Amino acid sequence: MRRTPRAGGRPTTITSLATYVPPRLLTNADLEKMVDTDDEWILRRVGIRERHIADPGVGSSDLAKEAAMRALGKAGITADEVGVIVVGTVTPDMMFPSTACLVQTKIGASRAWGFDLGAACSGFSYALTTAAQMVSAGGSRHALVIGADVMSSIIDYTDRTTCVLFGDGAGAVVVEASDDDGIGILDFENFVDGSGGNALCMPAGGSLRPASRETVDHRLHYVKQDGATVFKFAVRNTEEAARRILDRNGIKPCEIDLFVSHQANRRIILSATERLGIPQDKVVINIERFGNTTAGTIPLALNDAVEQKRLKEGDLLLLASVGAGFTVGTVLMRWGLKK
C-alpha cells in the first residue's frame, strides 16, 4: 500500500476524460433465452439490466483506441505529445505484444512508451496511480491512462453465475502536472491480498496451464468465481481502504462530495457506502446500463457523473476498486478538468 504521490514531486491531475462502449447490447431478456435466469433475479442480485458487447474480431485495443482519441481531443493535445501509455486490462488482444503497444500505433503516439497493467477490476485505479507517479517525478509531461476490457471474450455463456455480470467497455484519461496545488490527486491506497486469488480467476491460458484439449474441454479459459467470497472481501476492503485513506488525510466520510466505486454489484457498493456513512446521493451507480466492464467501470461512472453535472471543479472525489488477485485500490482527489 502507499501514500501521497506528491512526496518529492509535482502535484498531478486528470485533465480530460472520455469513454467508449461497443454499440451492441445484451439485455437480461436476451440472457433469459441463453441460460436459466430471469430479469428480476439479475436486477435484485446485482442491479444490471443490460451490458454492451463487442462484435467478434473487436479487441480491447480497439475500444481503448476510441476512448483514447476522445480523451486526447478533450485535453487539446496530439497523440505525439503523449509520453507514456498505461493500459489496465485483463483481456489483452493477445499475450504479446501488449495492448499499450497496439494502442500506441493505432493512435499515432510515436513518442510514447507504455505497458499493460494486470490488476483486474482495480486496473484503472492502479494505472492511474502509476501514471501519476511518473508525471509527478517529471518522467512524462502527458500520460495516457486507459482501462479497457472485452470481458465477453472470456465469459462462459452457459454459466449463469458469471455470464449475467460482465460487459465490454473502455475509458481513458490524460494525466498532467497540476497548475493548481489545490486540484488533483491527493493520495492513494493500493494493496493486494494474493491469498484470495483462487476466488476469482481464469484458470488456464497462462504458463501454468497453456491451452490444450483438456483445458478447453473443461472450460478453463473462462472466468471462474466464488461469488460469496468475493462479495464479502469487496464490501469489507472497500470500506477499510476508504477509511484508511480518509483518516490519513484528516477527512471525514461526510466531507466526500462524490464516491465512485468499481461497478461489480449494486449491493456491494451500497453495503460499503452504508458502512462508511456516505449518503446514497453522493454515490455513483451505473451498473444497470453497463454491467461489470472490469477496468472500464470507474471511468464510465466518472463520465456519467460529469455529464449529469454531479461533479464540479474542486469537488472532493474518492475512487475505490476491488478486483481479482485480490487487488484493492483507492484514489483521493480534488476534481478539475482542463477548460
C-alpha span between 215 and 222 (Å, rounded):
10
Phi then psi for residue 318, to 5 deg, are -120, 125
C-alpha span between 31 and 21 (Å, rounded):
19
C-alpha span between 11 and 184 (Å, rounded):
7
Query: What one-letter code names the amino acid at 62?
Result: D
Q: Among 85, 92, 147, which Cα is nearest to 301's?
A: 147
CA dihedral sign of residues 109, 115, 120, 126: negative
Active site residue 142: no
Active site residue 221: no
Out of 190, 237, 265, 292, the active site residue is: 292
Q: How many residues does the chain have?
A: 339
Helix or strand run (H / E) with residue 177: strand 168-177
Strand-pairing partners, residue 329, are 190, 321
Out of 52, 163, 262, 286, the active site residue is: 262
Count the Cβ atoms, other than its own, within 10 Å of residue 134. 19
Active site residue 121: yes
Helix boundaries (H) for 137-265: 160-163, 213-217, 227-248
Asked whether 52 and 290 are in contact (CB, 8 A), the reply is yes
Out of 52, 121, 142, 237, the active site residue is: 121
Catalytically annotated residues: 121, 262, 292
